């Protein structure tokens, strides 16, 4: 059973919900899920609607065309997705491989509706993991002086593989704006702190020094400003004076895995909308 | 600004969402929030829709009539509510007064959209609290032999005050089916355990004896079977071997207050639907 | 049954635990609880030991003298406390009274081992609460130009009441270093954010703008740098895109009450040691 | 640096702490960590003390002998462990392999201080995982009629490998008392519910049917009564009406991994004492 999913945002006004649900109904679609949100301060309307394509009168490749006049009428920002056209994901990793392993195990168990044809790393260790899971691996050693050049090769490779989404699974490189602009709101990072606390390097060491009683992890879309993109998901865990820096790292890794995998899953299920450097995450 | 709220459940079928949103739109209503859920196993559709009555073409007292034919067509279970007609709540308490105090402080701060004209107790201590907040108080001493009789007097008193909702804020009396049937899905209880664990009396003592590492509290609608009604909300807190039974009671009281107040608030906001002894709680 | 409590910190070295426990044992004391911690990075030893004074050979007022030579030998920072000599607490509040109410209700239920003889506020509203609980109230209107003068009057008043601990229960005034130095590590504040994120004013508004998925509250000792003192306790609660700024405030207030009351309780139980702008909190 | 660890329990009485810490100190041991607990209701004293063997006057193999007279004097239940003599662990798994994978990844990262020489399963699938990690694998198909016989073979195999601890990582077989008695308080199970709720089979299905708002996982030592042994650790996660049974399974698996790995780690660090079918878990 295949489903179509519409993600919509526009200035709030009367009649949007009725218009969209009618569009589906009059074409004989069965709504599987519909969710909306209005940010009154921003006067913005958000909607996610998902319907079964069984018996739907419009062919999948005609839906965009059929919906356009309605979208134009309400000046919508919108995107259309199909559950049977899973996105292609590339995972970028460095030395710490727990998030990479975690994503691949979830992928194998069917928790992530996508294809993962490629793993990229600036460290050799990730290759063994890629091999275990039978996924192509590309190593790019990144130095300050060759970063733009190497990134361009990465972009070409991603393009060759038809990659839609880039997941930074503890990838310890800061991307240039060139790379980021190629994948706007399509690069998902995990930062190992409860943002906006402890931006930048060594957040566990920062947290340890500060003596916080709770640590966190944050998954967000990547923008040019470091660790400042729209937050998708966060979670926290309690620590005490007994926890060494190593304990913080160990406890935090469990958070990182869970928080990143939730964010990736929601992105792949087309549940996330960005605005004002924040996210709406429909559940 | 006054809003109308419709709560709907019926067998799932095509076109419900479109029909309901159209009803609102064609009468010039502005949808403030719309949420739906489909339980596929139960083949049941649930909806909550809230719209502004500003410029709505149908007068409030005509909406029920106007909506009926559509409701009949889909064989809906439905109820209509208005944000400017707050429900009347009676709080029942016994000796432990923390939940009573908590609800009244939230009420005073405007967190609970209702009126609280009456406090009922089988203990004298609650009277002081009622007096502090300027609310009528009625004491009913309950014995096995006079329970039905006393409950009938309570029902009469509630009726006199026009009470819609009964909140059992640690009220240590088991209600008879006679009372329960008068207020079906309108009696909200707080049980001081993570149900279905530790049903019945002294749940903290049961938890202490069992050596659990987490305790909980559960708010639910009251049905005839003890502590077995539809669960509205639960929360938990960590305990250790260092926590005495008194510590469990103290920690648990914070849960009780938070869990009960959430459940009451959601009920008063018309966010809860019951089916199959479970709840849908729209957020 | 009265207990003595020793809080100790010193450079780590062999034999401290044995020496301290022997001191208690050889004077016929029964150890009720003993906990220690070593921060290896800081090479510092921390201990809390509590023993029953029943049959203890040294009179309470002689213990300090009896312990001194041992303390000197290990160059300890130490303090001695007695469970039957509860500390005197003054609560400072402003307009938001939920934390004040919460502390007073816990106090009345016996959860806070202290005396609360005084409530101080720069707003008149707190007086009603003080009156309800039968506690002395002092109003100090604070302006930039009279702050030092008013603070000196506060210090005099606190001194007159023999106040040991000052709890800032959402007191919206920044204290001068003059005041802070009078009560070093004895002023407990609640900040309504997950520090170090969102220091300063309007932390909920900051959190709302940032789009975080979790908000927090932090209780800490007050030092001169704003919101930067040793953290005693933190807790967090989940929020979503559906939560308005008002919702953040409402959800956060529950955190504030719980976090502040835990910190105050632990302080009064002599469970907290400060070092390097962090805390050891024995449980 | 090697450490010795003593785990002690006995009837509470004066002088135990002093006697034990003196034993260590007078033999020139440096205490790394010492923790104690008194259950007043049960009048029982518990202690964990860990000290460095550098410069300790008693040879490791003489410590048991040296400590015995003191232990006898206080009628202690006690055990002695060494940090450089890691326990040998066998993991038992069935079809669901997420906990097996999780334990092995943590083992490889050095989070579990043990050796894992053996994986046992009643399903073939686990073999691939064992091979990936280079660990011996033994398959035992278990039927009602051959259970005792097969278990005896398992016991023999465990004995041959010198196994100290058995971890049931979602092993879907009920062990006989014969097996359990061979490994008293040394078999750690993960049950996929918040015990004592939802004992037995299909706990997620039970939780789904009941409509709970929070699910949990519980790690416990195995005793003859099903899912009723001393609880070591529990954790919980929120669910809503939107979560299908599959969602509960998916969310619960993250809990299972975290809860089981914590319990195994604490057991291997000799932090757990059992009494009255409960646990003391020193942190």
Question: Comparing C-alpha atoms, which of C89, C60, C93 is closest to residue C164?
Answer: C89
| Burial letters D162-188, b for 16+ CB under 10 A, else e | ebbbbbbbbbebebeeebbebbebbbb
Other chains touching C, judged by 3 or more CB pairs under 8 Å: A, B, D
pLDDT of B1 reads: 78
Answer yes or no: do C33 and D38 touch at CB < 8 A.
yes
pLDDT confidence tier of residue B135, bands split at 50, 70 and 90: very high
Q: What percent of chain A has pLDDT over 70?
A: 100
Answer yes or no: do D211 and B230 touch at CB < 8 A.
yes
Q: Please give, rounded to a whole number of angstroms, the shortest distance from the CA of A245 to a CA of chain C.
A: 10
**A181-201, pLDDT tens digit by residue?**
999 999 999 999 999 999 999
Q: Please give, rounded to a whole number of angstroms, the shortest distance from the CA of C34 to a CA of chain A.
A: 15
Q: Is the pLDDT of residue A133 over 90?
A: yes
Q: Please give, rounded to a whole number of angstroms, the shortest distance from the CA of C21 to a CA of chain D.
A: 5
Q: Pick from A37, A197, A230: which is nearest to C242 by CB?
A: A37
Q: Does C277 touch chain A (CB under 8 A)?
A: yes
Give the pair of three-digit tokens for residue D256: 């299972």
**B74-128, pLDDT tens digit by residue?**
999 999 999 999 999 999 999 999 999 999 999 999 999 999 999 999 999 999 9
CB pairs under 8 A between C and D: 54
pLDDT confidence tier of residue D202, bands split at 50, 70 and 90: very high
**B33-78, pLDDT tens digit by residue?**
999 999 999 999 999 999 999 999 999 999 999 999 999 999 999 9
Q: Does B283 touch chain C (CB under 8 A)?
A: yes
Answer yes or no: do C34 and D17 touch at CB < 8 A.
yes
Question: Comparing C-alpha atoms, which of A276, A252, A113 is closest to residue A185?
Answer: A276
Q: Is the pLDDT of residue D1 over 90?
A: no
Answer yes or no: do A17 and B33 touch at CB < 8 A.
no
Q: Does B240 touch chain D (CB under 8 A)?
A: yes
Decide: helix, strand or coil at residue D11: strand
**C162-211, pLDDT tens digit by residue?**
999 999 999 999 999 999 999 999 999 999 999 999 999 999 999 999 99
Q: Using a CB-CB distance cutoff of 8 angstroms, which residues of chain C are in contact with residue D18?
A: 18, 21-22, 24-26, 31
Average pLDDT over residues A97-126: 97
Q: Does B134 touch chain D (CB under 8 A)?
A: no
Q: Please give, rounded to a whole number of angstroms, the shortest distance from the CA of C40 to a CA of chain A.
A: 9
Answer yes or no: do B254 and C250 touch at CB < 8 A.
no
Angle ∠(D103,D106,D112) on CA atoms, nearest 5? 90
What are chain D's domains? 3-82 (3.30.70.260), 87-281 (3.40.50.170)
Give the pair of three-digit tokens for residue C131: 């009156």
Q: Does D13 touch chain A (CB under 8 A)?
A: no
pLDDT of B225 reads: 96
Put simply, whether the predicted model's pTM sits higher than 0.95 gets the answer: yes
Using CA atoms, how far apart are residues A181 and C74, in angstroms rounded to an integer? 61
Does the annotation count A227 as an active-site position?
yes
Rounded to the nearest integer, the mean pLDDT of chain C is: 97
Q: Please give, rounded to a whole number of angstroms, the shortest distance from the CA of A69 to a CA of chain C.
A: 29
Q: Is the pLDDT of residue A78 over 90?
A: yes
Q: Is the pLDDT of residue A1 over 90?
A: no
Average pLDDT over residues D181-208: 97
Using CA atoms, how far apart are residues A186 and A180, in angstroms rounded to an integer? 9
ipTM of this model? 0.96
Average pLDDT over residues D102-127: 97
Q: What percent of chain D has pLDDT over 70?
A: 100
pLDDT confidence tier of residue B227, bands split at 50, 70 and 90: very high
**A156-173, pLDDT tens digit by residue?**
999 999 999 999 999 999
Number of other residues whose CB lies within 10 A of the CB of residue A250 = 19
Please name the residue of chain A whose CA is at the shortest distance from the CA of residue D282. A242
Q: Does D111 touch chain C (CB under 8 A)?
A: no
pLDDT confidence tier of residue C118, bands split at 50, 70 and 90: very high
**A201-223, pLDDT tens digit by residue?**
999 999 999 999 999 999 999 99
pLDDT of C1 reads: 79
**C24-61, pLDDT tens digit by residue?**
999 999 999 999 999 999 999 999 999 999 999 999 99
Q: Pick from D214, D230, D233: which is nearest to B236 by CB?
A: D214
Give the pair of three-digit tokens for residue A27: 């074409």
Q: Using a CB-CB distance cutoff of 8 angstroms, which residues of chain C are in contact with residue D57?
A: none
What does D102-137 look like in DSSP terms, one character per residue? HHHHHHHTT-S-EEEEEEEESSTTHHHHHHHTT-EE
pLDDT of B240 reads: 98
Average pLDDT over residues C247-260: 98
Q: Using a CB-CB distance cutoff of 8 angstroms, which residues of chain D are in contact with residue A250?
A: 111
Using CA atoms, how far apart are residues C278 and C195, in angstroms rounded to an integer? 13
pLDDT of B125 reads: 93
């Amino acid at each position: 059973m295949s489903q179509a999913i519409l993600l919509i945002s526009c200035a709030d006004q009367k009649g949007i919900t009725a218009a969209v649900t009618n569009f589906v109904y009059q074409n004989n679609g069965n709504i599987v899920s519909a969710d909306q949100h209005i940010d009154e301060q921003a006067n913005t309307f958000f909607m996610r609607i998902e319907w079964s394509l069984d018996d739907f009168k419009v062919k999948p490749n005609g839906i965009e065309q059929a919906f356009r006049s309605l979208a134009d009428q309400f000046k919508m920002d919108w995107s259309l997705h199909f559950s049977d056209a899973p996105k292609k994901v590339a995972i970028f990793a460095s030395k710490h491989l727990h998030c990479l392993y975690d994503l691949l195990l979830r992928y194998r168990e069917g928790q992530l509706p996508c294809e993962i044809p490629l793993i990229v790393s600036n460290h050799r260790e990730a290759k063994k993991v890629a091999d275990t899971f039978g996924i192509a691996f590309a190593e790019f050693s990144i130095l300050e002086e060759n970063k733009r050049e190497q990134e361009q090769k990465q972009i070409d490779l991603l393009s060759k593989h038809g990659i839609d989404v880039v997941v930074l699974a503890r990838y310890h490189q800061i991307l240039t704006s060139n790379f980021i602009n190629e994948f706007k709101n399509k690069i998902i990072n995990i930062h190992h702190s409860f943002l906006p606390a402890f931006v930048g390097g060594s957040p566990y060491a920062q947290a340890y020094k500060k003596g916080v009683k709770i640590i966190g992890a944050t998954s967000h879309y990547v923008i040019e400003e470091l660790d400042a993109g729209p937050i998708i998901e966060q979670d926290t865990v309690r620590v005490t004076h007994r926890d060494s820096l190593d304990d913080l790292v160990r406890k935090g890794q469990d958070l990182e895995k869970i928080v990143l995998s939730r964010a990736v899953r929601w992105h792949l299920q087309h549940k996330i909308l960005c605005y004002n450097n924040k996210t709406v995450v429909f559940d």
